[in-house]
Structure 1
Amino acid sequence: MSSPSVSVILPVFNAEPFIGCALDSVLRSSLADIEVIVIDDGSTDHSADIAQKRAQTDARVRIKRFSRKGIANALNEGIALASSPVIARMDADDICDPRRFELQLACLRQNPDMAVVSCLVRPVSDASLSAGNRRYVEWVNQSISSEQIARDLYIESPLPHPSVMFRASAVRSLGGYRRYDGPEDYDLWLRMSDAGMKFCKVPAVLLLWRFHHANLTRSDPRYRKNAFLRRKIEHVARQVRRGRLAHGRKIRICGPGLAGKRLEQGLVEAGFPVEGFVDVNPARRSDTCSGLPVWNTAAVGKRDKNRFYFCAVRRWDSWPEIRRLFKERNKTEGIDYLIL
């Protein structure tokens, strides 16, 4: 018996109000040649029973029950069970567009150099969407090309986890998901990027992405800013070591705030000293930070050809102004500076 075109992995933990609709949306896919692997991660509600009813009426659905292992282990169980060389992620509280798997699979087939394909998303919320989540979704939907995604991975994850489809061999070659005190998807994307793998998106809204009070991204402490920042700094230091960033130039950090200080500490611990800081906020001015000089923006473009700037400014609304500043000083993003 030939393997299905796509294996859909759907982990679930106590998603009784949503899992029925999520599964129904997957099973309505225009690509009928799929298998759906539901990994019940120790649910204490009726999530598994709802999934089992779908399995009784649709042979494409399989359900495996485990004691509580956590999302990373549940996903690895699903990858081990997948029989297709292509795997799509889905969450138990989201809704798939019927065209999603067909369009994403076509994209992977047309672009053999791509390891992961995502799509645009539309947020769904049981309450008013916070300004931060609204801004994040807008940013995610603007990061489309392979080049944009590679750049934006240094900022945060531009790939909503339940929106992705990937080549199973690519993820298996890295040992799958890792369980640690940070977000397992962002960690995987960074490891794939380290390995030279590429990402892209189908430029169409193919997933309704639900935000609610029990949503893991909003409630799990592993997804807080500190976890992202720590993992990001590790990634940046590794890219500097490999010559993919900074390219042997002296390093300056834009933003002498908490993120900038932690970045400086991480780079120094990795063996890459920082020359000093640039404060892009004209209203706040100090002469030193972490024992290093702090310059104003006049320092950018002034006898700094052998300098690389890491911009550790966490305010999203500051980034357009930072990009304008560097463009005016004939600096190229990714070559002369990078926003983190």
Structure 2
Amino acid sequence: MQQDLDARIREKIDFKTKPTGALGLLEDLAYQIASVQNTLSPRLVSPHIIVFAASHGIAASGVSAYPTEVTAQMVLNFLNGGAAINAFTRQHRIELTVVDAGVDYEFTRHDMLLDRKIGFGTKNFLEGAAMTADECLRCLDEGAKLVESISQTGCNVIGFGEMGIGNTSSAAMIMSRLLGLPLEDCVGKGTGLDNAGLERKIQILTEAAERHKPGGNDPLQVLQTFGGFEIVMMCGAMLEAAARQMLVLVDGFIASAAYLAALKMNHRVRQNAVFCHQSEERGHRILLETLNAKPILQLGMRLGEGTGCAVAYPILQSAVAFFNEMASFESAGISGKPDL
């Protein structure tokens, strides 16, 4: 029974040769991993990070410090091995896949790139819905199929990152609508706007919110109205990963917005989610606090690409290592647990 196993997991953690709670968040992670895998001998197998990329129509309205062409240029950088996510996945021996969910560019074939293009970018949600209902459902389905395929390699821990100029605007709109929070609490500087740029961004997104005011907070409708192809595809992938009892590594603000939508669709995804870091984006801190989520790292990062997942992964390895390899008081021949 699950309740009995949970008690045994907690007992195994508490009776290691240490004071109770002395390993802090590592103990919580070990408990979570063992619970998700339903075992007293958890393993992390074939770790994988997917970076979903797509172009955003809202970028044309001036919400970003960078032009929309940078999305395609950064995807090419991923494929050439020159991005931060390439460095970190190489360092930690994590498989990396880049998915063209809807970039406004025609890529040539590449072993690292999967073509799942829904369209050449979303529409500008300042003028109408970002995508059609059919496009939204196709994104969810493609994300699920991708994770299904990866799970067949034996992978049981999967991280999610993104690339898409303008996608902090989409994430802010999704967060505000799904949580009922003021837009000002959800909007940040993104890729590096100055204060004037931030004010302009808030003004533009406020106009968009007013335009879609009757829309309600149904997660599918919110994704269709404000989402990016990469965000919705990531949401579908997270739901499928949780259904397959994989660990879901959530990167920064964009990935957390995708997770929020997934959570609204199926609350069971919560038990599988590991929040890898707290980004510098204003909305991310508030989102994590609202979800009562504990991020593993706070390094001042705000890059995206799944970099937080890659950097946090060795800490998950440490959690599994102490759980499986550290002696108990009994096995170490220590009589009685000291009161330290």
Calculate the TM-score normalised by the size of structure 2: 0.31
Task: Return the structure number with greater helix share.
Answer: 2
Q: Which has the larger radius of gyration?
A: 1
Task: Return the structure number with greater strand share.
Answer: 1
Calculate the TM-score normalised by the size of structure 1: 0.31
